[in-house]
């Protein structure tokens, strides 16, 4: 049977790993290529890089990081952050990314999702949805969480599925970096509205949160950064725990 995936995510800035609290206050901590290799050797089902490099002159560093990683890690590699065009996607895929996640560009110009999924196939197009709760709905934020678009996250998710997204990476902006758990409500609402897999992201602080993301949030895959990055848990710990809770994982 198909297994639920555990995806460690590495936030990369200027070619180095960082992890922020609520998308600000970044701490530096290491080489992404080496860390990705440690994760894949430890049983990660997939690796995710989120490039948060702000300056244009350092943008190209991520291509080098991706190229080096893809020569060492033989599990799927998803890369996102700053992806604006079909050409950006092409470059990342050519460097060895298996999937590219699109955030701001998907909101500003949904044609990018349509065109790229036609050109490269839906299997490599992930749409990243950053959403924040506003009263009784969730709204899409772009530009690394700085801009509120007012767009309804659930309707947007459906639209992205129709545009050809192969997967949705759903991050709760309220939870990201807080370690209090995924926004289960958001995950399960989106997951039940679309027929493509949902990757839950934002807020993991312990292994029960991963269990909740799958059991209650109906996510196909769970993404986490800090619990793995700061060594609180290994990917193996996470898999063994999920397995003990009856969740099918690759061990």
Partner 1 sequence: MNITIVDYNSGNISSVINSFKEVAKDKVHIEVTSDLNKIKLSDKVVLPGQGSFKSCVDALSNINGLVDTLNEFVIINKKPLLGICVGLQMFADIGYEETETKGLGWISGKVSKIDNQNGKYKLPHIGWNQLKIVKESKIFKGIENNSHMYFVHSYEIIPEDKSVVSATTDYSSSIVCSVEKENIFGTQFHPEKSDKIGLRIINNFINL
Catalytic residue among 51, 88, 130, 176: 130
Which residues does residue 172 pair with via DSSP β-bridges, in sequence order?
131
Q: Rounded distance, CA 68 to CA 62, Å? A: 10
> Which of these ranges, 120-128, 130-138, 172-180, 200-208, lies near partner 1 under the rule CB under 8 A?
120-128
Q: Annotated catalytic, 98?
A: no
Q: Is 11 a catalytic residue?
A: yes
Q: Do 19 and 229 touch, CB atoms closer than 8 A?
A: yes
Q: Near partner 1 by CB under 8 A, which window of 78-86, 90-98, 143-151, 208-216?
A: 90-98
Which of these segments, 115-123, 130-138, 150-158, 228-236, binds partner 1 (CB under 8 A)? 115-123
Told to check if 98 binds partner 1 by CB under 8 A, we report: yes
> Dihedral through CA 100, CA 103, CA 109, CA 111, nearest 10?
30
- Dihedral of CA 251/191/104/18: which sign? negative
236: contact with partner 1 by CB under 8 A: no
**φ and ψ of 206, to 5 deg:** -150, 175
Residues 60-79 that bind partner 1 (CB under 8 A): 70-71, 74-76
Q: Is 158 in the site for partner 1 (CB under 8 A)?
A: no
Nearer residue to partner 1 within complex by CB, 142 or 163: 163
Site map 6..45 versus partner 1, x via CB under 8 A: ----------------------------------x----x
Beta strands in the chain (DSSP E): 5-13, 16-21, 24-28, 47-51, 77-80, 99-102, 125-134, 137-142, 147-152, 167-172, 198-201, 221-224
| CA nearest neighbour of 34 among 86, 5, 71, 76 | 71
Residue whose token pair is 């934020």: 141
Considering the complex, state which of residue 5 and residue 132 has its C-beta at the smaller distance from partner 1.
Answer: 5
How many residues interact with partner 1 (rule CB under 8 A)?
A: 32
Catalytic residue list: 11, 130
Q: Which residues bind partner 1 (CB under 8 A)?
A: 1-5, 40, 45, 70-71, 74-76, 93-98, 119-124, 166-167, 195-197, 220-221, 250
């Amino acid at each position: 049977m198909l297994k639920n995936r555990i995806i460690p995510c590495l936030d990369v800035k200027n070619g180095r790993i960082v992890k922020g609290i609520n998308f600000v206050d970044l701490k530096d901590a290491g080489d992404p290529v080496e860390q990705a290799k440690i994760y894949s050797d430890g049983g990660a089902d997939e690796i995710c890089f989120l490039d948060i490099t702000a300056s244009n002159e350092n943008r190209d560093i991520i291509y080098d990081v991706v190229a080096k990683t893809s020569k060492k890690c033989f599990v799927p590699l998803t890369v996102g952050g700053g992806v604006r065009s079909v050409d950006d996607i092409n470059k990342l895929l050519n460097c060895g990314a298996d999937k590219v996640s699109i955030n701001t560009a998907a909101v500003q110009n949904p044609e990018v999702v349509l065109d790229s999924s036609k050109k490269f196939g839906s299997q490599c197009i992930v749409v990243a949805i950053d959403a924040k709760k506003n009263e009784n709905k969730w709204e899409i934020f772009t530009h690394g969480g700085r801009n509120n678009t007012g767009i309804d996250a659930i309707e947007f998710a459906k639209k992205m599925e129709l545009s050809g997204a192969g997967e949705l990476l759903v991050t709760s902006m309220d939870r990201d970096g807080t370690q209090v758990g995924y926004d289960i409500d958001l995950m399960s609402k989106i997951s039940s509205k679309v027929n493509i897999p949902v990757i839950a992201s934002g807020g993991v602080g312990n292994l029960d949160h991963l269990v909740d993301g799958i059991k209650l949030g109906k996510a196909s895959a769970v993404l986490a950064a800090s619990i793995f990055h700061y060594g609180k848990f290994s990917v193996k710990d996470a898999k063994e725990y999920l397995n003990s809770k009856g969740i099918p994982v690759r061990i």
